[in-house]
Amino acid sequence: MAPRTSHVTDIHGHVSPAFEAVREAFAANFARRHEVGGACCVFHHGDLVVDLWGGVRNKATGEPWERDTMVVVHSATKGFAAMTLAIAHSRGWLDYDERVCRYWPEFAQQGKSSITVRQLLAHQAGLFAIEERVDRETVADLDRLAAVLARQTPAWPPGTRQAYHALSLGFYEGELLRRVDPQHRSLGRFFHQEIATPLGLDLFIRLPESIPNSRLATIAPPGRIAMLLGFPFRVALNAMNPRSNIYRALEVNPGTSVYLDAEHIYARNLEVPSGGGVGTARAMAHAYGVFASGGRELMLRQETLDLLAAPAVPPAHGFFDECLKGEVQFSLGFMKPGGLWTFGGASSFGAPGAGGAMGFADPVAGVGYAYVTSQMGTALTGDPRDVALRTALDAALHARNGAAVPHRRAS
């Protein structure tokens, strides 16, 4: 065996024999795709077949990424929030096609009385921006936050257009869940008690004080050159324009920095269900694996799982997103494959996060998948590191089934 050179990153964990290609792709991410630290995990029909981690969790200090290292996954958090509402649906508390105001009467203000739960969860309510000041104190006070949300006016007639509710969606989901849950729990507490604890997941929407900083990876932003070369010019210009839809959805009231903390890395005991989720790839993949394999551990009804697997329903003007400026498909709080984003099969559902994180369930293949990183990338339609891992996973699955491998480009 050739001696290890200094630039080779040690890869830890294991893969089942049929999934060795995923390990190779993970190692190649460090060698060729500028990975700094991260993890990838896959559950297949309930079995843990890929569990990999490597690199560093803190680019500045060089501290290693360890087996239990957790990291913020930004908008991949939306998938966890959607899971809570799926449980509410399975328990008969929530009807996706019912009007939101049926559960939350105050929501009917300002022309919102006809908005259905399905439309809200598909980013079709026109509520992508919050026009009143919302800071960390407001986010922490759920009653106060709910009153602000109820007063918002849709940007256009609900159900006509789609616009990515980058941060606002999770707050609306949280209040909706609080209204239908007989115990009136917050979304973060519900997730912890009804999903994370039963499954034994290192995954939080409400990160507690008890988690030490030593378990948390810090997120390194992309360099200036990477940003200039990675983002399309029109997208970059739009993101810097304070009047643009995406700027209003992401940067203000409260803005993505609300769940970051200089002293504690991430804010503690604060719930941002569209962006502040913190956990391991193993926990993410485990949760999605349960949803992909019948949901018995969470007592999910097949009716609910069938709805999650069903095709997305477009608004009147189609799937073109007025924030993301491209075609993206959403359904019941999850992203669906199609348009700018492809992953898994047609029945898959999941959520990507800014910078590269990705998690999804593929119920046909019986797969729960997750990838997380400490180095943010710039790709808007699938980070090359994530795409390479999913391509390798596809190859492994198709080889096991004796089928042709679909082509997915990994740069």
Instruction: Supply the range of the domain harboring residue 121.
Output: 68-386
- Residue 353 domain-assigned? yes
Strand, helix or coil for residue 331 = strand
Instruction: Look at the alpha carbons of 400, 405, 408, 411 in this order and tell me if their dihedral is positive or negative.
Output: positive
What integer pLDDT is reported at residue 7 of this predicted model?
56
Does residue 411 sit within a domain?
A: no
Q: What are phi and psi of 361, to 5 degrees?
A: -110, 135
pTM of the model: 0.94
Residue 404, phi then psi, degrees to nearest 5: -70, 145
The answer to whether residue 54 sits within a structural domain is no
Mean pLDDT of the chain: 93
Residue type, 124: Q
Of 13, 56, 24, 50, nearest to 375 by C-alpha is 56
Ramachandran category for residue 270: left, alpha or beta (phi over 0 → left; psi -120 to 50 → alpha): beta
CA-wise closest residue to 73 among 232, 205, 209, 215:
205
Tell me how many helices (H) and strands (E) the chain has.
Answer: 14, 15
The domain that contains 96 carries what CATH number? 3.40.710.10
* pLDDT band of 240, cuts 50, 70, 90: confident
Assess if residue 50 is contained within a domain. no
Copy the structure tokens of residue 343. Answer: 């992953």
For the stretch 60-101, pLDDT in tens is 999 999 999 999 999 999 999 999 999 999 999 999 999 999
Q: Could you read off the pLDDT of 303-334 as tens digits, one per residue?
A: 999 999 999 999 999 999 999 999 999 999 99
Q: Number of folded domains in the chain?
A: 1
Instruction: Please report the pLDDT score of residue 400 as a whole number.
Output: 80
Burial class (CB in 10 A: 0-12, 13-18, 19+), 263: exposed
pLDDT (0 to 100) of residue 2: 36
DSSP 100: G
Q: Would you say residue 73 lies in a domain?
A: yes
Instruction: Measure Cα distances from 97 to 34, 117, 150, 174, 347 in Å.
Output: 44, 6, 19, 18, 20
What mean pLDDT comes out for the span 263-290? Answer: 98
Reduced to 3 states, what is the DSSP secondary structure of residue 117?
helix
Q: Is residue 291 part of a domain?
A: yes
Given this model, what pLDDT does residue 227 score?
57
- Give strand ranges (E) for 105-144: none
Residue 334 lies in a domain: yes
Omega before 254 cis (within 30°)? Answer: yes
3-class secondary-structure state, position 137? helix
Q: Are 359 and 370 a contacting pair, CB within 8 Å?
A: yes
The answer as to whether 7 is a domain residue is no
Question: Given this model, what pLDDT does residue 401 score?
Answer: 77
